[in-house]
Amino acid sequence: MLWGNVMEKIALVFPGQAAQYVRMGKEFYEKYPVAKETFDKANEILGYDLKKIIFEGPLDLLTQTKYTQPAVFVTSVACFKVFTMNYELSTINYCAGHSLGEYSALVASDVLSFEDALKLVNSRANFTQSACEKTKGTMLAILGAEQNEVSEICAQASSIGICQAVNFNAPGQIVISGEIAAISKARELAKTKKIKAIPLAVSGAFHSSLMKEAADKMAEELKKYVFKNPRFPVVSNCDAEITTTAEKIPEKLVKQIASPVLWIDSINKIISTGCGIFIELGPKNIVSGMIKKISPTVKIFNIENEATLNTTLEALKNV
């Protein structure tokens, strides 16, 4: 695609857990039949009123892992479907999703149907929530530190429990995960080094080894589904590699549950192919913010409501 007479590739990206908010996607639901169908179909598949939880809350219910993951996934897919009504997907070169968002990316690339992906997301949500309840872990965002500094903090805190760097979101933005006591020690260590550390409002130690039981259960669940080759390549969280066939996707989805999210590497991998335009589809624009920190020169758009849709489509007319 041309942007200012320069050929650039386009990638779609999708958010994960923590992007949720009450009423997300409601504007699209009320205006676009394809979005309404997506939310209504989700209720039918899940057997409970997810739509009501998304649109009415309360927030503390929506933020429970077993509801958050399907809610963010369904909203993201609805945003994607509205976008596809207005834009030709043959122009898309790559897609990726942050953690949970990888399932949205797999739907966008036709690897999984919406129905199958939602069932898998629902299983993933229940498996991870169960693991959270058993392990009692937590997470801590460390800001403004170098990766070696974070590694040193984790190594020291690991003397009293599991403490691992798990989300490499952007330069100066790394999230650590593990047992509560060890994460508390890591916070104290960061404070002594004058490094900013913010506890995250989560129910467990996501992407750490404490999620192994959830990963093992997911491995069995994934055997029940058929995966197709992607229509455009997907960049996986767990290894930041470009995936062009279905063969390795299930094992990558298992690995991502108890392994770090290599988001910086994933985005840099896409950029290295000549991609300079990213479109985030789903609630909030958290992923867009991460990408901007990774590469300030790329063009980033997000679509979560009518205003952002129109802004993005107008800008893409020049692409």
* Choice among 76, 123, 203, 207 that is catalytic: 207
CA 81, 85, 87, 93 torsion-angle sign:
positive
* Start-to-end Cα distance in the chain: 6
CA-based nearest residue to 199, from 157, 237, 143, 132:
143
User: Using CA atoms, how far apart are residues 307 and 256, in angstroms rounded to an integer?
Assistant: 33
Give the 3-state secondary structure of residue 32: coil
Distance CA 137, CA 212 (A): 13
Give 4: exposed, middle or buried? Use CB within 10 Å, 0-12, 13-18, 19+. Answer: exposed
Beta bridge partners of 197: 142
CB 17 within 8 A of CB 103: no
Q: Distance (Å, rounded) from C-alpha 10 to C-alpha 92?
A: 5
What are the E-state strand segments in the chain?
Answer: 2-3, 6-7, 9-14, 94-97, 137-143, 163-170, 173-179, 196-199, 234-235, 242-243, 275-281, 299-303
Contact 288, 300 (CB under 8 A): yes
Find where tokens 């691992």 sit: 164
Choose the catalytic residue: 76, 99, 208, 259: 99
CA distance 59 to 19: 12
Is 99 known to be catalytic?
yes
Helix (H) or strand (E) holding 223: none
For the question of residue 207 being annotated catalytic, the response is yes
**Residue in the block written with tokens 């990888």:** 102
Distant-in-sequence, close-in-space partners of 146: CB < 8 Å, separation ≥ 6: none
So which residues are the catalytic ones?
99, 207
